[in-house]
């Protein structure tokens, strides 16, 4: 089959595509804002393509595609198909780095540890994260600025003099009793607030330290602080996604198809629970009332996932939240749970705000 000739029939619309080998197996699932442009990448000569991509292309005998209304819908459909079909090259082309967690054990003087799995215990976990380098940079920052023990042994042993880590200045001397349990626990509380994004003052201070170091021509120090900053912001941003997803946060997103139609997505945590087209030419009050009833009906019946996020859950959540932040033709808003039951008046105000935002974008945007 001549796949190149079939490209002429592919629309220039968002959607998902499936690459198929000679045996009829779907070997790769992808998405594109413009399906024709995206698929042409595989059937036109390109320079400097990765070897794994070139290997996959040699096995392509056919392709299929599905048009979607919006790019976000294509993202979500791609994710669903990959989990359902498990195509060979989606896993081979994916970054093979394993996910990591930060762990604070339930102890009097716990060590901050990087672990590969989330245990079933009483420890506090952060993550999962997908960059070991950035996680290690964040941990190095925490060790430099907080009195965390770094004893080589897993257990804390009382000593008359500092251990080797303490002697070289990388450990505060917990084993000698120089740090009280109260002060240690306070430091852990501050670390938890920082990593959960509830206290951004240390991040702002790091940014200032970078600028001061550059002004003083201390480039090595500036580079070290920049590593810390990159690691911390990576942890905080990922953790925000994790917390939002685990709490089952309600988000309503509206993405425009054209000036007269939009796609409504209702998201709970990291799951899409409802989608439908909206006609923007209708009466404003009727749309507000419809959204109120829809929000109450959908969000109250859907129960959030209680256990920690899996790697697949994090991937799905990251797709959703990153897209919500960057799309030009999309507006989104959080819907507190109390608005659905106790504070009905606030839900009415919220839906009016959504409709106002929709109308503002529709009238101010000429090219969709």
Question: Do 269 and 235 share a structural domain?
Answer: no
Question: Do 149 and 53 share a structural domain?
Answer: no
Question: Do 120 and 237 share a structural domain?
Answer: yes
Question: Do 239 and 253 share a structural domain?
Answer: no
**3-class SS letters over the chain:** CCHHHHHHHCCCCCEEEEEECCCCCEEEEEEECCHHHHHHHHHCCCCCCCHHHHHHHHCCCEEEEEECCCHHHHHHHHHHHHHHHCCHHHHHCCCCCCCEEEEECCCCCCCCEEECCCCCCCCEEEEEECCHHHHHHHHHHHHHHCCCCCCCCCCCCCCCCCCHHHHCCCCCCHHHCCCCHHHHHHHHHHHHHHHCCCCCHHHHHHHHHHHHHHHCCCHHHHHHHHHHHHHHHHHHHHHHHHHHHHCCCEEEEEEEEECCEEEEEEEECCEEEEEEEEECCCCHHHHHHHHHHHHHHHHHHCCCCCCCCCHHHHHHHHHHHHHHHHCCCEEEEECCHHHHHCCHHHHHHHHHHHHHHHHHHHHHCCCC
Pick from 92, 110, 134: which residue ends a domain? Answer: 92
Question: Do 233 and 270 share a structural domain?
Answer: no
Question: Do 337 and 207 share a structural domain?
Answer: no
Overall number of domains in the chain: 3
Q: What is the structure's pLDDT at 63?
A: 93
The domain in which residue 353 lies consists of 248-364
Q: What is the structure's pLDDT at 96?
A: 44
Question: Do 216 and 200 share a structural domain?
Answer: yes
Question: Do 269 and 239 share a structural domain?
Answer: no
Question: Do 142 and 53 share a structural domain?
Answer: no
Task: Give the pTM.
Answer: 0.64
Encode the chain (368 residues) as per-residue pLDDT tens digits. Answer: 566 778 888 999 999 999 999 999 999 999 999 999 999 988 887 778 888 889 999 999 999 999 999 888 898 889 889 888 999 998 766 654 567 889 998 888 888 889 988 777 888 888 888 788 999 999 999 988 887 877 665 566 566 666 666 666 666 767 777 777 888 889 899 999 999 988 999 999 999 999 999 999 999 999 999 999 999 999 998 888 777 666 678 889 888 888 888 899 998 877 788 999 998 887 888 999 999 999 999 888 766 555 555 666 766 776 677 777 666 677 888 888 889 888 888 999 999 988 888 877 777 655 45
Q: What is the structure's pLDDT at 160?
A: 60
């Amino acid at each position: 089959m001549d796949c190149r000739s079939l490209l002429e029939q592919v629309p220039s619309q968002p959607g998902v595509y499936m690459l198929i080998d000679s045996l009829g197996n779907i070997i790769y699932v992808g998405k594109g804002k413009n399906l024709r442009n995206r698929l042409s990448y595989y059937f036109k000569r390109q320079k400097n393509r990765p070897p794994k991509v070139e290997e996959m292309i040699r096995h392509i005998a056919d392709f299929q595609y599905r048009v979607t209304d919006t790019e976000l819908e294509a993202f979500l459909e791609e994710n669903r198909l990959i989990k359902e079909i498990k195509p060979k090259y989606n896993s081979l082309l994916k970054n093979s780095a394993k996910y990591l967690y930060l762990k604070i054990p339930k102890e009097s003087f716990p060590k901050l540890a990087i672990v590969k799995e989330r245990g079933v215990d009483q420890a506090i976990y952060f993550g999962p994260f997908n960059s070991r380098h950035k996680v290690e940079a964040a941990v190095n920052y925490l060790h430099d600025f907080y009195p965390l023990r770094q004893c080589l042994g897993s257990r804390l042993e009382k000593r008359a003099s500092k251990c080797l880590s303490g002697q070289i200045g990388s450990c505060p001397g917990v084993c000698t009793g120089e740090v009280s349990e109260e002060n240690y626990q306070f430091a852990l509380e501050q670390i938890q607030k920082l990593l959960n994004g509830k206290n951004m003052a240390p991040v702002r201070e790091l940014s200032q330290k970078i600028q001061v170091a550059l002004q003083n021509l201390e480039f090595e120090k500036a580079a070290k602080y920049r590593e810390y900053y990159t690691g911390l912001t990576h942890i905080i941003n990922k953790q925000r996604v994790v917390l939002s997803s685990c709490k089952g946060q309600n988000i309503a997103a509206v993405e425009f198809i054209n000036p007269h139609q939009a796609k409504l997505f209702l998201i709970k945590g990291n799951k899409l629970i409802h989608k439908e087209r909206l006609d923007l030419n209708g009466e404003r009050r009727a749309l507000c009332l419809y959204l109120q009833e829809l929000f109450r009906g959908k969000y109250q019946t859907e129960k959030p996932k209680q256990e920690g996020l899996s790697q697949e859950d994090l991937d799905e959540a990251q797709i959703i939240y990153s897209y919500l932040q960057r799309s030009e033709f999309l507006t989104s808003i959080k819907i507190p749970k109390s608005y659905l039951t106790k504070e009905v008046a606030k839900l009415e105000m919220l839906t009016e705000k959504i409709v106002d935002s929709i109308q503002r974008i529709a009238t101010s945007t000429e090219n969709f």
